[in-house]
Amino acid sequence: MGDKGAEIVAKAVRNCYSLVSLNMASNVIANAGLKVVFEELSHNQTLCELNVSTIGGKSRNTITTTGIQAMHHFCLEQKTCTIVNMSQISLEDEGLRHILRTLGSTAKRVAKTLNRNAEKEINELERLKDDVDRTKDPHLRRMYDIRKRPDMQLPTKQPDCESAV
């Protein structure tokens, strides 16, 4: 396939609304092709899995710092893709640093989203508290009591994802 083939495929499936998984493993795709793949697919809103690995060392896909930066942007922008398989691609130290930064940024974004959603639920439960007290509904009361248990409390400090980088 090579870089040119990867570019054609990536541009063709950019807005493919039924694409869930794309396997481009072991297609002799170099940095230029992988960069286009990451850039084009960062806009696809149905992709869940992308495989750009090398299988058994044959027809090796390769990537450099520029491609890793495109992958970093892909991981930050892509909202639906949860699996990016890049196994057996030579990353070198700089590439590994970019991946660790990406994972840290992504973990922070997920933690913030989870915290915001949890805060909304807590606020809703607080609003329901008066209704729970008034109605004496045992199911609502149990839900509220469970939420107040110490082991169900949200952590007060965000995890420090940057310290791992």
Residue 35: pLDDT band (50, 70, 90) is: very high
Residue span(s) of the chain under CATH 3.80.10.10 come to 2-90
What is the topology classification, in CATH, of domain 2-90? 3.80.10
> Closest by alpha carbon to 71, among 57, 56, 89, 46?
89
What is d(CA 84, CA 3) in angstroms, rounded to the nearest whole number? 18
User: Phi/psi at 117 (nearest 5 deg)?
Assistant: -65, -40
Digit-coded pLDDT (tens) for 56-75: 777 888 887 788 888 878 88
pLDDT score at 83: 87
pLDDT score at 144: 60
Digit-coded pLDDT (tens) for 11-33: 999 889 899 999 999 999 998 99
- Which helix (H) or strand (E) is 84 found in, with range? strand 83-85
> Closest by alpha carbon to 164, among 109, 100, 112, 106?
100
* Three-class DSSP category at 29: coil
Q: Whole-model pTM?
A: 0.60
What is d(CA 97, CA 57) in angstroms, rounded to the nearest whole number? 23
What is d(CA 37, CA 11) in angstroms, rounded to the nearest whole number? 8
